[in-house]
């Protein structure tokens, strides 16, 4: 009886954490987002200062590794590198369940996209916002769906509908996998089977996540969306990008993702 009572109390505690979470205000100040030409608009990697395009209005900033490579996503917009303050902010959302901070990050992401280059407001008329999915068990354990919270703020700021149309099958967390196993792991992201919204009218998808590391999860999400929608422009909005060491970069080039 005591064991059953403990399970019930534990389940209620997890449910409360999942439903209510935290509403703390987050960090007093966040770092200034990167300038547009500081990163590759294809993959999101930092471009060395010597290779950066000096035109602040350029819409085609790309790194050398992305030339001639067709990626699953059409464009990547980021706020910064996954280090120092951006890392602290993301961890505060993930493990501190700071929803208010997640909304701040989402608003910054939307503003960064608008500032990134000259944009036509007509692009947003047929646009939707889709958060990268999270396994249900992990959502319950952490008490927050951080990508969804960030995407909610992006949706509100850009005035585009938010659709949680992707599902993530259970499996080991990315922290439990090596970089190579992340790239080679089986497909685990797919469209929801029930209550699937109509995606036929969308021409632009904002795929939102907190951190971009190998791009494996993002690629699976893009492929799942294109499998249902056909041709559609997919733009990745991510708070931070994990920088690779030179050794890891050389290994990544050999396994670089390509589409047919």
Count of other CB atoms within 10 angstroms of residue 108:
22
Structure confidence at residue 245 (pLDDT): 45
Architecture of the domain made up of 70-254: 3-Layer(aba) Sandwich (3.40)
Is 34 in contact with 109 (CB distance < 8 Å)?
no
Cα torsion 19, 25, 29, 34 to 10°: value is 20
pLDDT at 256 over 50: no
Residue-wise pLDDT tens digits, 196-213: 777 778 899 999 999 999
pLDDT at 244 over 70: no
3-state secondary structure 36-63: HHHECCCCCCECCHHHCCCCCCCCCCCC
Rounded mean pLDDT, 113-124 = 72
Judge residue 67's burial from the number of C-beta atoms within 10 Å of its C-beta, 0-12 exposed, 13-18 middle, 19 or more buried: exposed
Is 226 in contact with 237 (CB distance < 8 Å)?
no
User: 97 vs 139, which has greater pLDDT?
Assistant: 97
pLDDT at 57 over 60: no
Least trusted range by pLDDT, from 97-111, 140-154, 234-248: 234-248
Structure confidence at residue 123 (pLDDT): 75
SS3 174: helix
Is 241 in contact with 78 (CB distance < 8 Å)?
yes
Structure confidence at residue 185 (pLDDT): 52
Whole-prediction pTM: 0.78
pLDDT at 115 over 90: no
pLDDT at 73 over 70: yes
Structure confidence at residue 260 (pLDDT): 35
Residue-wise pLDDT tens digits, 144-178: 999 999 999 999 999 999 999 999 987 655 555 55
Structure confidence at residue 8 (pLDDT): 59
């Amino acid at each position: 009886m005591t064991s059953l009572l403990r399970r019930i109390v534990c389940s209620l505690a997890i449910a409360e954490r999942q439903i209510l979470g935290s509403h703390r205000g987050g960090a007093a100040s966040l770092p200034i987002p990167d300038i547009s030409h500081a990163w590759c608009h294809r993959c999101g990697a930092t471009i060395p200062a010597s290779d950066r395009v000096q035109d602040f209005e350029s819409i085609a900033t790309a790194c050398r590794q992305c030339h001639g490579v067709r990626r699953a996503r059409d464009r990547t917009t980021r706020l910064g590198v996954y280090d120092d303050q951006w890392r602290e902010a993301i961890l505060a959302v993930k493990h501190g369940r700071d929803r208010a901070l997640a909304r701040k990050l989402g608003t910054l992401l939307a503003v960064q996209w608008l500032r990134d280059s000259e944009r036509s407001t007509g692009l947003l008329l047929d646009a939707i916002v889709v958060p990268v999915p999270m396994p249900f068990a992990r959502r319950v354990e952490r008490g927050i769906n951080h990508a969804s919270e960030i995407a909610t703020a992006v949706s509100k700021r850009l005035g585009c509908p938010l659709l949680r149309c992707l599902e993530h099958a259970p499996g080991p967390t990315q922290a439990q996998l090596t970089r190579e196993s992340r790239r080679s792991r089986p497909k685990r992201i797919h469209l929801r089977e029930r209550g699937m919204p109509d995606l036929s009218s969308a021409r632009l998808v904002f795929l939102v996540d907190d951190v971009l590391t190998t791009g494996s999860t993002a690629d699976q999400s893009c492929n799942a969306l294109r499998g249902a929608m056909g041709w559609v422009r997919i733009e990745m909005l991510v708070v931070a990008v994990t920088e690779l060491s030179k050794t890891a970069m050389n290994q990544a080039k050999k396994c670089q993702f390509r589409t047919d």
